[in-house]
Amino acid sequence: LSVLEGEGIVLDIAGQPTARLTTASVPLAFAGDVPTRAALIGGPITDLNVMTRRGRMAHAVERQPLSGEIRIMPRADTTLVLAVNTDFTLLTDDRPSLGPLDTLILERETPELWLQSQGEGLLFVIELDRLAANH
């Protein structure tokens, strides 16, 4: 779980210390089938919640603040690149762009790509893999 917009959220997840998430926090992983309580810190938020079925899929979520260029090398079966708070330009011949909350979907066979931010930006790179028994 990651906070994209708003002041944040406090989570009380059974068996874990209380977690306070803000837009500056690293993604928090926790099992979705345990009792959890949430309280907003100061009003509504927009969050990113990536859930995969245990035993069938695996995922990783990485928060990447940047200004300038970043290389994306798809290593997972599917890689999602979520632009959060600024525009990003894909450095290819036609130079398409990603606006805030746009997502680029890449398969493992996609060659490496370069993205350039139009100012201080934030990306989330989400990797999704099918587990061996599900291929």
Q: What is the largest CA-CA distance in the chain?
A: 51
Span 109-128, average pLDDT: 92
Q: Which amino acid belongs to residue 125? A: V
Span 93-113, average pLDDT: 90
Q: How far apart are CA 72 and CA 113, in angstroms?
A: 5
Strands 78-83 and 121-130: antiparallel
Q: Residue 119 corresponds to which tokens in the numbers above?
A: 């100012």
Q: What pLDDT, on the 0 to 100 scale, is given for residue 132? A: 86
Res 108 pLDDT > 70: yes
Say which CATH architecture domain 57-134 belongs to.
Sandwich (2.60)
Q: How far apart are CA 128 and CA 133, in angstroms?
A: 15
For all residues of the chain together, what is the average pLDDT? Answer: 93
**Cα three-residue angle 68-83-111, rounded to 5 degrees:** 75
Q: What pLDDT, on the 0 to 100 scale, is given for residue 135? A: 60
Tell me the CA end-to-end span of the chain in Å, nearest whole number: 27
Q: Residue 88 corresponds to which tokens in the numbers above?
A: 């990003």
The full set of domain ranges for the chain reads 2-48, 57-134
48-71: pLDDT as tens digits: 999 999 899 999 999 999 888 999
10-47: pLDDT as tens digits: 999 998 999 999 999 999 999 888 999 999 999 999 99
